[in-house]
Amino acid sequence: MKLTSANINLMLKACRKAAKTLIRDFGEIEKLQVSVKGPGDFVTASDKKVEKILIDELGKGRPSYSILSEEIGEIKNDEEFKWIIDPIDGTANFLHGIPHFAISVGLEKNKEIICGMIFDPIKDEIFTAEKGNGAYLNNQRMRVSSRAKLENCIIFTGGPKREAQNRDLVIKEYDKFSSKVLIPIRKLGSASLDMAYVASGRCDGFWQRNLNYWDIAAGIILVKEAGGFVTDFKGEADYIENKTILVTNSRINEEMIGILK
């Protein structure tokens, strides 16, 4: 790892420990007990185990920090620092034996993400970034792609869920983008990895509605430190509040905003 600050090392230790449980459970996917959390939204016993490991390990190293996690909600401590945790981003993939999911951990200071880690345990890929110190995939520096024409780009998205109130609008946006690009739109099922792939230059842009903060927190710093843009659909900084996020390299941002407007 090129980034070696105390916070990054703590995140790495926590993610590696949690990943061992995740890999073992993924290998025994048929034995997992699944409980329904909501329509189209499942949580596994593994999800809860991974979350507990992450919270325990991060808590040992930084007992005063607050925590926001998908399953347990918020643990309020120090108002300055907060861990943002998604134990398994890509739960549906995990449940169906598809090896594309990740552990996502971001650290917020005064409501700004200052470092983040997205850990793909199956591929053993660790996407890491820290404010002012760059973004890395394992030991290699990451940069967003340099493609300047949207029609030549690979674009990712996700959703909509069956019960989504703006389902028709999401489908309309999908149709608009599909008509602009030569390569079909990809839907891989993990928003954190979608953002990590933009940061690493594997894809060029990503847009999605209705994501939660823990889905995107770590990805925000990854993309920014890799030279990309993170905005809402209007090109502004309200993507957390209004749950519309657009993530791009530095060259197709305006074109994508034009389509979404």
Give catalytic residues, as residue numbers: 70, 86, 88-89, 91, 215
HSE-CB of 23 using CA atoms within 13 angstroms: 12
Could you give the CA distance from residue 78 to residue 4 in angstroms, rounded to a whole number? 23
Please name the helix (run of DSSP H) or strand (run of DSSP E) that holds residue 17, with its range, or none: helix 6-27
Give the pair of three-digit tokens for residue 230. Answer: 């993170």
CB atoms within 10 A of CB 125: 15
Q: Judge contact between 83 and 51, C-beta under 8 A.
A: no
Q: Judge contact between 180 and 151, C-beta under 8 A.
A: yes
Residue 200: exposed, middle, or buried by beta-carbon count in 10 A (0-12, 13-18, 19+)?
buried
